[in-house]
Amino acid sequence: MSVVSSDLKVTLEVTTWVTKLVGGDGTGHRIVDEPIAPGETVRQVLRRYSGRFPALDAALWSPDRAALGEHLEVLVNDAVLGVAHELDSPLEGGERITLLGQFMGG
C-alpha cells in the first residue's frame, strides 16, 4: 500500500452539474488539492476521492466498478482521458484532474 505524501499532490476540479455530487449547488466548480503517493495512478486517486462522496462514486464508475461510467468526462491537464493519460497512468504530482459532466440534448 502506498503512503500518501503531503509533498506530492494533484489538483482535482469538479465542474458544472457534477458539483452537486460533492456538496455543491450544480454550478461553477470546486477545487481541492489531493495529496498522492509516489507512482499513484489516476484510477487510485479517483477511487479515493469518489469514495468520500457516494453519489459521485455511483456516477463516476460503471456498475461493476471496472471502468468509468457514461456521464462524466475525466480530463488530465485539460486533455480527455485516453489522450495523454489512461486510468492506470502513474501521476508525478502537479497534474490537474477535472471531472466534467457530459451534456446531452439536441
Partners of residue 100 on adjacent β-strands: 73
Angle, CA of 20, 6 and 11, to the nearest 5°: 35
Q: What is the pLDDT of residues 26-82, one digit of tens each?
A: 999 999 999 999 999 999 999 999 999 999 999 999 999 889 998 899 999 999 998
- Say which CATH number the domain at 26 has: 3.10.20.30
Domain containing residue 63? 5-101
65 part of a folded domain: yes
Which of the four pLDDT bands, split at 50, 70 and 90, describes residue 12? very high
DSSP assignment of 35-50 equals EE-TT-BHHHHHHHHH
Provide the total of helices (H) and of strands (E) in the chain, helices listed first: 2, 5
Q: What is the pLDDT of residues 31-41, one digit of tens each?
A: 999 999 999 99
Q: What dihedral do alpha carbons 77, 17, 19, 57 form, nearest 10°?
A: -80
Number of domains in the chain: 1
106 part of a folded domain: no
